[in-house]
Amino acid sequence: MTFQDIFKSSFLENISSISLLDMAMALTLAFGIGLFIFLIYQKTYQGVMYSSSFGVTLIALTMITTLVILAVTSNIVLSLGMVGALSIVRFRTAVKEPLDLAFLFWSIAVGIVLAAGLIPLAVIGSVIIGLVLLIFVNRKSHVEPYILVLQCDGQESEWQAKSYLDTETCRCVVKSKTVLKGSIELNLDVRLKSSDTNFINVLSELPGVRSAVLVRYNGDYMG
């Protein structure tokens, strides 16, 4: 094969199938909307350990999806080969938060819609989805869950502490109980009537109560 044959190859003819202006506009919009998705992810994140790399992945995934769909839409033969090539890709990274799946799918969907030329749908749809996530994810419950770790000397002090908690909280349920000689440890799921936690000070001063630790936890509750 000579250099003349290379320049006559149909491979080089695909360069003009998508203009540089179209590619630049699509990737710029993909970066802008991907950055918007990243900011919404930061505002709505409620996990324990924030991963900045996942936020950057949302931006990159939007741009990569746009790039792939642009290539697929430019050539029918290439689209068939791309389907076969991408079918062997497997992702092994575990997604810890269920909401992260929504952000991943959002980034992929925006990349597909942008590459298809449906720019208003991508922009307006992303704004609406972002507002919905901000409203519902950041909505705080009026009753927050707490875990109370209580250590008592005996059964009588346990009854007194439990009776006091029933009057000071909306709900008090024993989740676990550990009994040793001369010591009882309780883990209770409690719901407070207000944000005032001074009742813990009174609880710790009851006869037979060794310690009382109140911890607010964040997670799905079943029970």
Residue 137 is predicted with a pLDDT of: 81
Specify whether the CB–CB gap between 170 and 126 falls below 8 A: no
Q: How confident is the model at residue 46 (pLDDT cuts 50, 70, 90)?
A: confident
Cα(155)–Cα(163) distance, rounded to whole angstroms? 12
Q: Collect all residues with Cβ–Cβ distance below 8 Å to 118 and sequence separation of at least 6.
A: none
Higher pLDDT, 6 or 188: 188
High-pLDDT (> 90) share of the chain, %:
15
Q: What is the DSSP letter of 141?
A: P
Angle at 219 between CA 213 and CA 223, to 5 degrees: 85
- Are residues 198 and 139 in contact, defined by beta-carbon separation less than 8 angstroms? no
Q: What is the pLDDT of residues 177-206, one digit of tens each?
A: 888 887 889 898 888 877 778 888 888 888
8 Å CB contact between 173 and 160: no
Q: What are phi and psi of 151, to 5 degrees?
A: -115, 125
The one-character DSSP state at 17 is G
Question: Which pLDDT does position 89 carry in this prediction?
Answer: 55
Q: Provide the mean pLDDT of the chain.
A: 79
Phi then psi for 10, rounded to 5 degrees?
-70, -15
Distances (CA, A) of 64 to 26, 31, 147: 11, 10, 44
CA distance 59 to 66: 11
Mean pLDDT of 7-12: 48
**What is the amino acid identity at position 111?**
G
Mean pLDDT of 152-170: 86
Show me where the domains of the chain are located.
3-137, 145-216
- Give residue 223's pLDDT band: very low, low, confident or very high (50, 70, 90): very low
- Angstrom CA distances, 139 to 100, 133, 135, 177, stand at 18, 10, 6, 33
Of 3-7, 71-75, 147-151, 183-187, the range with the lowest mean pLDDT is 3-7
CATH topology (fold) of 145-216: Alpha-Beta Plaits (3.30.70)
Give the range among 9-18, 64-73, 128-137, 201-210 with minimum mean pLDDT: 9-18
* pLDDT tens profile 92-117: 666 677 788 889 899 989 988 888 88
Indicate the pTM of the whole model: 0.61
